[in-house]
Amino acid sequence: MSIEKKNGTGTGDGGSGTPEIQVRGLHKSFGDNEVLRGIDLEVGSGEVVCVIGPSGSGKSTLLRCVNLLEEPTKGQVFVDGIEITDPDVDIDAVRRRIGMVFQQFNLFPHLTVTDNLTLPQRRVLGRDKEAAAEVAAENLRRVGLSEKATAYPASLSGGQQQRVAIARALAMGPEVMLFDEPTSALDPELVGDVLAVMRMLADEGMTMMVVTHEMSFAREVADRVVFMDGGVIVEEGTPAQVIGNPSHDRTRHFLSRLLDPAMAEVEEDRTP
C-alpha cells in the first residue's frame, strides 16, 4: 500500500480534515487478559493529548498500538489518514512519520551523543554523514544540549539522556510524537528540563500524545486530557474539565490519590 497524504490536516474534535491520529474500536488482548476494550480516539494536527490513568489501565498499550509496536487484536488505527492496521501498509514508511520516546532512554552506550542521533538517520533515511550531523546538531540545540555532542551517554544525567532521546526522535523529522511516561525514570529535580523541551514542541505545533502522571504539565500544555481505566476511556475533555472538575467518580478518586497521596493513604487506613 503506497504512503500518500490525504485531505490535509484536521482536528481532534471532528473537524472537516483528517485527524493526525484516529483510533477506532481498538481492542488488545494478551492471552485472556483484555487490556484495551474498544478505544475510540482522535488527535488533531498540532493537538497535544495527555493520557492519564492508573497503572494497568492500558495507556502505554494504546500508545504502542498507535505505531504498531503492539499489534491490535481488533480495530483500526490511522495516522495522517493512512490505515496502519491494513496488512498491506508499508509500516516502516508510516513509522518514519512517528517519533516515540520511552521511559528508558535506549541510547547506545558505545556511541557519542552525535552518533546516537546520526545512526538512525543514515540507516533509515539514507542521509549522508554530513547531512545527518547537521540535523543532529540542530536538534541538540533545540533541546539545549549542543555542548554534549561529543559526550557519551554514561557521562550524562538521566534528564540529559532523555533530552538526547527526544532529539534523536526529532532528527527523523516526525509529524507526530508519542511520549510514554518520559519522566517516570528520572529523579524529581531532572524532570523540569525534559518537560520544558516538551512544552517547546507543543508551542511549535507538534502533534503529541503523552502518557504521563505529570498533572501540572497536562494542565498547562494539553489541549485535551483523556482518563483511562480498565482498558476504556472513562472521560475526556479540556484539562479544566477532566483535571479541574472531573465528572466521573473514578476520575476523581484517581486524581485525589495522585495529587494528595498522603490523604489517600489515610483514607485507605480507615477502610475496614
Other Cβ atoms less than 10 A from the Cβ of 86: the count is 14
Name the phi and psi angles at 24, rounded to 5: -130, 120
**Which residues are CB-contacts of 15 (< 8 A; sequence separation ≥ 6)?**
44
Query: What's the mean pLDDT in 239-258?
Result: 93
pLDDT averaged over the chain? 89
In contact, 77 and 66? CB cutoff 8 Å:
yes
**Residue 119, C-alpha cell as written in the block:** 545512526
Q: Would you say residue 118 has pLDDT above 90?
A: yes
Give the model's pLDDT for residue 262. 59
3-state secondary structure of 31: coil
**Distance, CA of 105 to CA of 232 (rounded, Å):** 28
Given pLDDT bands bounded at 50, 70 and 90, which one contains residue 185?
A: confident
Query: What's the mean pLDDT in 1-20?
Result: 45
pLDDT in tens, 59-78: 999 999 999 999 999 999 99
Give the model's pLDDT for residue 92. 86
Give the model's pLDDT for residue 155. 97
The single-letter code of the amino acid at 146 is S
Q: What is the pTM of this model?
A: 0.88
Query: What's the mean pLDDT in 44-68?
Result: 95
Residue listed under C-alpha cell 546538531? 137
In contact, 98 and 67? CB cutoff 8 Å:
yes
**Which residues are CB-contacts of 32 (< 8 A; sequence separation ≥ 6)?**
none
Give the model's pLDDT for residue 95. 83
Given pLDDT bands bounded at 50, 70 and 90, which one contains residue 16?
A: very low
Domain boundaries, the chain: 108-174
